Amino acid sequence: MKTIRLLATLLFASISFQTTSAAIALDDGDPNVRDLGLLAKWFEGEFDNDEQLWVENRSDWWGKAEEKHGRIHATHKRIKADSIGKYVFYIEEYMDDDPTNVGRQRIVSFESLGEKKPGIVMKLYFLKDATKYLLDADTHDESLASITLDDLFGLDGCNVIFQRNGQQFHGSMHEKACQFGKGDELRYSVHDMVISESEYWRIDRTFLVKDDSFFKGHPNAEPHKMRKAKVYTCDVSFYEKAYYLPSEKDKSYKGLKVHDQGGTAYVLNPVDGKTYFVQLRNKEYPFYDLEDADFFFLRFKEKEAQASTALAFAEPNAKKIGFQMNWASAVCECEE
């Protein structure tokens, strides 16, 4: 009996030693692994600064006209590109709520700074033949599936270094490291970013190397404040007589993709020949210090009209929202 107990004690001690050794081995590894995965998770998705513009376009906004921001919608799509890295993204941004007005295309890769240095580096790449990678291009998926470093080029010193600060990651370039241009227009980039679970803020500014004078960007370094967007699938219908009286002129639009940060989908009503749009906004209302100040709403409006035709309200982040009138209806449901 004593022999059995001794063997059990030795076996337990052996397992405990192996477990402790494994834990020590993990502790001696890269300290950035967990943050690297979290940053990549938060970075993925669609982002839009519609909320920021909504505040700036109010008559009582406190800023100056030249301090207003342009509208940006950013898509960060994670891709598999082992020759570039483990955490690789295709970035596409369009301006002024116009998907055809593409203002930026990039490939970025996130990597740890190493076992002996806390932080994460985002390597920036430009596309040699950017057109074929556009989201709406027929060649988009095929081109991204076969992308390698040979399809890209970069600029020395333009990597962004991220450090975790609480529940955010703050990123910036090394001072005056990212330079481009020639002669008197040789300039350096200041590219600062803040990424959290639900927001993506970015400052892009350039300065002349010769005297550090401001060249381009926001005049007082106020960031584009983009919020992560959720995509909804919307169905919109028009009726000649009423929704319960079918007619040959009735028209339904199915599967429209509309994001909840001011996203819109335009549709034609064949009955009156007018164009309408459905818009979704998940708002963080800034003017009241109340727990229930935030709300989600659907806006239905004739394109050329001043006022909305219909409004529907729901709790923030509602999974489904819609309205029903005799001559029109709409329902939108979150894809998540």
- pLDDT computed for residue 114 by the predictor: 86
Residue with tokens 């609480």: 166
Residue 46, both tokens: 């669609």
- pLDDT computed for residue 28 by the predictor: 56
Helix, coil or strand: residue 14 = helix
- pLDDT computed for residue 127 by the predictor: 97
Backbone phi, psi, residue 46, to 5°: -115, 145
Is 302:295 a contact under the CB 8 Å cutoff?
no
Residue 208, both tokens: 């002349």
Rounded Cα distance between 263 and 111, Å, is 32
- pLDDT computed for residue 25 by the predictor: 44
Rounded Cα distance between 77 and 75, Å, is 6
- pLDDT computed for residue 61 by the predictor: 86
Is 125:106 a contact under the CB 8 Å cutoff?
yes
Q: Tens-of-pLDDT digits for all 336 residues of the chain?
A: 444 444 444 444 444 444 444 444 444 588 899 999 999 999 999 999 999 999 999 888 888 889 999 999 999 999 999 999 999 999 999 999 999 999 999 999 999 998 788 999 999 999 999 999 999 999 999 999 999 999 999 989 999 999 999 999 999 999 999 999 999 999 999 999 999 999 999 999 999 999 999 999 999 999 999 999 999 999 999 999 988 899 999 999 999 999 999 999 999 999 999 999 999 999 888 777 777 778 999 999 999 999 999 999 999 989 999 999 999 999 999 998
Long-range contact set of residues 277-285: C-beta below 8 Å, sequence gap at least 24: 277/301, 277/303, 278/234, 278/236, 278/330, 278/332, 280/232, 280/234, 280/321, 280/332, 281/50, 281/51, 281/54, 282/227, 282/230, 282/316, 282/317, 283/51, 283/54, 283/316, 284/51, 284/227
